[in-house]
Amino acid sequence: MRALGNSVVTLCLSLLSFGHIQAKPDLKWWQTTIVYQIYPRSFKDSDGDGVGDLKGIISKLDHFVYLGVQAIWLSPFYKSPNKDFGYDISNHTDVDPLFGDLDDVTELIEECHKRDIKVIIDFVPNHTSDLHPWFQASIKKQEPYTDFYVWTDGKTGPDGARTKPNNWLGVFGGEVWKWNDERKQFYYHAFVEEQPDLNYRNPKVVDEMNKVIDFWMKMGVDGIRVDAITNLIETEDIFQDEPRSYKPGVPPFQYEYLDHIYTSNLPEIRGAIRGWRNVMDKHSQKDGLERFMVVEFYDTPEKRNAYLDYGVHLPFNFDLIEPIGIRPESGGRQIRDLVDIEYANLPQNSWPNFVMGNHDRKRITKKRGARAANAFNMLLLTLKGTPTTYYGEEIGMEEIHVSFEDTQDPWGLNYGKERYEEFSRDPCRSPLQWNDGYQSGFTTANKPWLPVHPNYKTLNIQTQMASNDLSPIQLYSQLARLRQEPSFQYGDLFYSVVNDNIFSYVRQTEGQPQYLVTINFGKSKSIDDYTSSVNGREGKVIAHTGNFNEQNMKIDLSKIVLKPDQGLVLEVLSNKDEL
Ligand code: NOJ
Ligand code: MG
């Protein structure tokens, strides 16, 4: 597939190319939209308690219209004791009073649909809260809940005391077996101890979780993001230790210390996914609208793509995040290589996707500085495939600093004062900065759940929208519209100049303008000749990251000059046009 002349690479991908005539593919809604992740606690607070809520989101839907986003994914808003900020659910079919109530969800869905915005919710199948009635009944061995969770007597120690059955480690580090004094057994928890794992070897659990999906489909949601799919099922014989991974520098407490052959990505997961797909498809049959399923999965492309056969539309592609991911020093060639992992491994008839950040990982600006926001949004929004934007990326939001004493995230706290900053997710979860007013317009409370970043006076949505100079949000909204062009929406992608600084590519489809996207991800000015990979010698500037004198001008494609963090989208003027 590679090497078509000078560093030009062709990507055939899944699109039909019959000779020269390219048919417009029948794209589904989740292929043409940007997915925007809302972390409800941090988006907009309507009632002054310092925590974002559903009414807050409803009051801000025009933000998505401005941005050009047609699908939002909401992290959990269900009833929860909030030990893991909503990912510990005590009632799957009700809303936590912090966020509102079911009527608010109905209103949110209606208001989104009026604006042509799809609503994707978080589905957390692996575990519940320990305060979920199922777990409380399970402790008491009340049927049918006795085997709803992964219970064991463990082993018998030399002194006759019960000891845990194996050496498994939690995703947040440390112990996964918790002794319950009432039931006199251990239960398994892959995350915090207040998140007991459900037992998917029990068909009743499978049924109950299918009903949860059915409930939300009836409420009118358009899709689900499945949480922690990797951890769904454990080996049947739990009296087996997991082997060491021998990853360098990883202490015995840390999840990566072991190779998770008995707890991660087991084949039985596929059956569960099939079941969820069937529930969703029943709803699609009624109205012909596809219900979207994206799964959270941090692993190799081969492993994530294997899920596509069982009803998943997109396994989140986290290659830009890890295991290598975008680093402070990644230049053009390295970023091309990260992008290429997705394209090179994608099975026939599958659709690519890209993610730069989420509520669990460092923001892109943390790694590359605020100045790079435009360059990375340009990348994300002009690649081929569905992009996911984490709230705040549209304005280049930066991470806050949180002291150990003020840290809330259990993952950070688990690692103690020495290492908490490596793991704590608080810094990337600070309130969205709406304006330069009190608490950046996020809340009227004097103490939001996490502090607003002190840079909000200048870095906020309102200021950026009104700015006379091109701002990140303005560029974002331009690019979101540009994505609607056939060349970007479904056209092919060919790599053009790729070097230490530059990553560039051509987007094109038959009968449509040819576009060149070029971005300098390096540390020095770059002057490059692109003419061998495009059908012309000149390009018209369609979008740029700012600080360009050449605006509205034609650019000579044989010597484009780009400084670090600068990028351009050019329409290639064909040789014919120039005559
Ligand atoms: C992945 C979620 O994204 C994360 O926030 C959560 O802590 C774990 N799964 C457990 O649900
Ligand atoms: Mg609130």
Q: Which ligand does the CA of 298 lie closest to?
A: 1
What's the CA-to-centroid distance between 40 and ligand 2, angstroms? 9
What's the CA-to-centroid distance between 519 and ligand 2, angstroms? 40
pLDDT band at 106, cuts 50/70/90? very high
What's the CA-to-centroid distance between 61 and ligand 2, angstroms? 17
Q: What percent of the chain has pLDDT over 70?
A: 95
pLDDT band at 4, cuts 50/70/90? very low
Residue span(s) of the chain under CATH 2.60.40.1180 come to 1-28+329-353+490-579
Query: Is residue 78 within a helix (H) or strand (E), and if so which, with residue range?
Result: strand 78-79
One of 53, 222, 296, 360 is an active-site residue; which one? 296
Indicate which residue's Cα is closest to atom 2 of ligand 1: 227
Helix, strand, coil shares of the chain as percentages rounded to 5? 30, 20, 50
pLDDT confidence of residue 575: 72
Superfamily of domain 127-197+234-264 in the CATH hierarchy: Oligo-1,6-glucosidase; Domain 2 (3.90.400.10)
Q: Is the pLDDT of residue 576 over 70?
A: no
pLDDT confidence of residue 14: 35
Q: Is 227 in the pocket of ligand 1 (CB under 6 A)?
A: yes
Q: Is 124 in the pocket of ligand 1 (CB under 6 A)?
A: yes
Q: Is 190 in the pocket of ligand 1 (CB under 6 A)?
A: no
Q: Which ligand does the CA of 125 lie closest to?
A: 1
Q: Is the pLDDT of residue 38 over 50?
A: yes
Mean pLDDT of 239-258: 98
Ligand 1 nearest-atom number relative to CA 126: 11
Q: Is 360 in the pocket of ligand 1 (CB under 6 A)?
A: yes
CB contact at 8 A, 362 and 400 = no
pLDDT band at 3, cuts 50/70/90? very low
pLDDT confidence of residue 22: 57
Q: Which CATH number applies to 29-125+210-232+265-328+354-395+432-478? A: 3.20.20.80
pLDDT confidence of residue 2: 32
pLDDT confidence of residue 548: 73
CA-nearest of 378, 390, 361, 385 to 472 is 378
Q: Is 426 in the pocket of ligand 1 (CB under 6 A)?
A: no
Which amino acid would we find at residue 495? Y
Q: Is the pLDDT of residue 7 over 90?
A: no
Span 270-304, pLDDT tens digits? 999 999 999 999 999 999 999 999 999 999 999 99
Please give the mean pLDDT across all residues of the chain: 94
Q: Is the pLDDT of residue 176 over 60?
A: yes
Span 428-463, pLDDT tens digits? 999 999 999 999 999 999 999 999 999 999 999 999
Q: What's the burial of 131, exposed, middle or buried (CB within 10 Å: 0-12/13-18/19+)? A: middle
Cα separation of the two ends of the chain: 34
pLDDT confidence of residue 25: 85
For the chain, give the number of residues.
579
Q: Is 229 in the pocket of ligand 1 (CB under 6 A)?
A: no
Using the CB atoms, write b or e for 89-121: b if 16+ within 10 Å.
bbebebbbebbbeeebbeebbebbeeeebbbbb
pLDDT confidence of residue 364: 98
Query: Is residue 474 within a helix (H) or strand (E), and if so which, with residue range?
Result: helix 472-482
Residue span(s) of the chain under CATH 3.90.400.10 come to 127-197+234-264
Query: Is residue 102 within a helix (H) or strand (E), and if so which, with residue range?
Result: helix 102-114
Chain center to CA of 8: 29
pLDDT confidence of residue 23: 67
pLDDT band at 77, cuts 50/70/90? very high
Mean pLDDT of 418-424: 97
pLDDT confidence of residue 18: 39
Residue span(s) of the chain under CATH 3.20.20.80 come to 29-125+210-232+265-328+354-395+432-478
Q: Is the pLDDT of residue 64 over 70?
A: yes
What's the CA-to-centroid distance between 257 and ligand 1, angstroms? 20
Q: Is 88 in the pocket of ligand 1 (CB under 6 A)?
A: no
Q: What are the distances in angstroms from CA 343 to CA 305, 336, 495? A: 12, 10, 11
pLDDT confidence of residue 494: 97
Superfamily of domain 1-28+329-353+490-579 in the CATH hierarchy: Golgi alpha-mannosidase II (2.60.40.1180)
Q: Is 373 in the pocket of ligand 1 (CB under 6 A)?
A: no
Span 492-512, pLDDT tens digits? 999 999 999 999 999 999 999
One of 88, 197, 222, 227 is an active-site residue; which one? 227
Active site residue 227: yes
Q: What are the distances in angstroms from CA 459 to CA 61, 316, 463? A: 20, 29, 7
Q: Is the pLDDT of residue 17 over 50?
A: no
Ligand 1 nearest-atom number relative to CA 425: 5
What's the CA-to-centroid distance between 95 and ligand 2, angstroms? 13
Indicate which residue's Cα is closest to atom 10 of ligand 1: 87
Q: Is 87 in the pocket of ligand 1 (CB under 6 A)?
A: yes
Pocket test for ligand 1, best of 42, 227, 359 (most atoms within 8 A of CB): 227
Indicate which residue's Cα is closest to atom 5 of ligand 1: 360
Sign of the dihedral defined by the CA atoms of residues 433, 437, 441, 445, in that order: positive
Q: Are strands 567-573 and 514-520 parallel, antiparallel or unpaired?
A: antiparallel
Active site residue 340: no
Tell me, yes or no, if the pTM score tops 0.85: yes
Q: Is the pLDDT of residue 217 over 60?
A: yes
Give CA angle at 471 (426, 485), nearest 5°.
Answer: 100
Cα–Cα distance between 515 and 493 in angstroms, integer?
10
Span 201-214, pLDDT tens digits? 999 999 999 999 99
φ/ψ of 101, rounded to 5, equals -145, 180
- DSSP classification of residue 128: -
What's the CA-to-centroid distance between 578 and ligand 2, angstroms? 58
Chain center to CA of 405: 28
Q: Is 498 helix (H, G, I), strand (E, B) or coil?
A: strand
Sign of the dihedral defined by the CA atoms of residues 66, 71, 74, 78, in that order: positive
pLDDT confidence of residue 574: 87
Q: Is 570 in the pocket of ligand 1 (CB under 6 A)?
A: no
pLDDT confidence of residue 24: 78
